Amino acid sequence: MNTARLSSAGHVSLFDGEVVPAVGDGESLVRVLGVGLCGSDLHWFGEGSIGDAVLSHPLVLGHEFGGRVEGGPLDGQLVAVDPAIPCGTCERCREGYFNLCPTVRFAGHGGTDGGLREYVSWPTELLHVLPEGFTPATAALLEPLGVALHAFDLGHMRLGSSVAVVGCGPIGLMLLQACRAAGAGRLIAIEPLAHRREAAKRCGAQVVLAPGEIADCLDEFDVVFEAVGPDDAVAESVELVRPGGNLVLAGIPNDDKTTLPASVARRKGLTVRLVRRMNEAYPRAIDMVRRGLIEVDWLVSHRFPLERIDEAFKTAAAREGLKVLVEP
């Protein structure tokens, strides 16, 4: 079995001949067909860490993935893999906040290998069978869509709300589509890269601006979703929210610190929420795609076999397209 492992910052290597993982009780063997490279994967690749988690051994990255089950009750089915394995028994889990489980195991993080390999053994209950017409790319992109839907929920957008999305990577573009489907009134996007501004228009943004062009939009939006990470994007987001509005921070900063203009945020009385992955979002994400309310496959701009994993990471890090998909 071929496997891609990150050994240190900037160094991901292909290993041939690793053993296909054993299938335990309650698990299924999945032949991986598509893995999306996420912004958090790029933190691992570029820094050898993400937040307070530091690389301690060669790690298989990849938490946006799907494939076809071989054997067991789901044999032959195309599935999306929920990458989070919560304990199910702690207080947070019992309250229904599985995404906040303090002992969650997460694919491609800490001691849990992810999807950048040919086969994965995973709990069957965390495999979501996909409808006819879904592709391996769809399966992989359901994870970032779930994160986008969780962020959307935290924004408490109402019908006709004015909304701004700051950062139009895949999650920002999915947020635009979700807001459009939910009946947003005014909907704008802020994005520095020209090709992503064009993608934002396709996703329903009525106005698309580059950073620094927001002077005429200050204090106007009921909800602002920040999906970038750096402090300048956070500060710009604070400026866009109206007094009493909601700000949702979904981006991950490079240095594990987020700073915002406190006086402005306090004077406006903003409600600020942070996104931690997702919580039970797969069934809804699948339904949104099935009904055509959110389109995801077109976001794949680059495809690489596992043998070109280093090139795949460098392409994703350069932000040359939208979503890089690795096909083991």
Q: Distance between CA atoms of 165 and 254, rounded to whole angstroms?
A: 20
pLDDT of 272-305, one tens digit each?
Answer: 999 999 998 999 999 999 999 999 999 999 999 9
Of the pLDDT bands very low, low, confident and very high (cuts 50, 70, 90), residue 103 is very high
- Predicted model pTM: 0.94
Q: Distance between CA atoms of 269 and 244, rounded to whole angstroms?
A: 5
Distances (CA, A) of 111 to 76, 106, 133, 316: 29, 8, 34, 24
One-letter amino acid of 281:
A
Of the pLDDT bands very low, low, confident and very high (cuts 50, 70, 90), residue 17 is confident
β-bridge pairing 187-190 and 163-166: parallel
Nearest-5° angle of CA 102, CA 287, CA 147? 30
When the pLDDT of each residue in the chain is averaged and rounded to a whole number, the result is 95
pLDDT of 119-161, one tens digit each?
Answer: 999 999 999 999 999 999 999 999 999 999 999 999 999 999 9
pLDDT of 22-46, one tens digit each?
Answer: 999 999 999 999 999 998 899 888 8
Q: How much is the pLDDT for 155? A: 97
Cβ burial 121-135 (10 Å sphere, 16+ → b, else e): ebebebbbebeeebb
Distances (CA, A) of 225 to 35, 40, 41, 60, 239: 25, 18, 21, 30, 12
Q: Which of 230, 84, 220, 215 shows the shortest CA–CA distance to 147?
A: 84
> Contact 140/35 with Cβ under 8 angstroms?
yes
> For the chain, what are the domain ranges?
3-129+296-327, 149-274
Of the pLDDT bands very low, low, confident and very high (cuts 50, 70, 90), residue 47 is confident
- Helix, strand counts (H, E) of the chain: 9, 19
Q: Can you read off the two tokens belonging to residue 165?
A: 């999305």
Cβ burial 150-183 (10 Å sphere, 16+ → b, else e): bbbbbbebeeebbbbbbbbbbbbbbbbbbbbebe
Report the first-to-last Cα separation within the chain, whole angstroms.
Answer: 10
Question: Would you call 311 helix, strand, or coil by DSSP?
Answer: helix
Q: Distance between CA atoms of 271 and 262, rounded to whole angstroms?
A: 12
Q: How much is the pLDDT for 49? A: 85
Task: Look at residue 194 and tell me whether its pLDDT is greater than 90.
Answer: yes
* Superfamily of segment(s) 3-129+296-327: Medium-chain alcohol dehydrogenases, catalytic domain (3.90.180.10)
> Contact 72/29 with Cβ under 8 angstroms?
yes
Strand partners, 78: 68
Q: How much is the pLDDT for 224? A: 98
| CA dihedral sign of residues 139, 144, 146, 149 | negative
Q: Distance between CA atoms of 287 and 170, rounded to whole angstroms?
A: 19
Window from 13-17, 74-78, 198-202 with minimum mean pLDDT: 13-17
* Superfamily of segment(s) 149-274: NAD(P)-binding Rossmann-like Domain (3.40.50.720)
Please indicate whether the domains covering 3-129+296-327 and 149-274 agree at the CATH topology level. no
Q: What is the mean pLDDT of residues 56-74?
A: 95
pLDDT of 214-245, one tens digit each?
Answer: 988 888 999 999 999 889 999 999 999 999 99
Q: Give the contacts of 316 (CB within 8 A, at least 6 positions apart).
A: 37, 41, 42, 302, 324
Task: Look at residue 267 and tell me whether its pLDDT is greater than 90.
Answer: yes
Q: Which of 258, 232, 229 shows the shortest CA–CA distance to 319?
A: 229
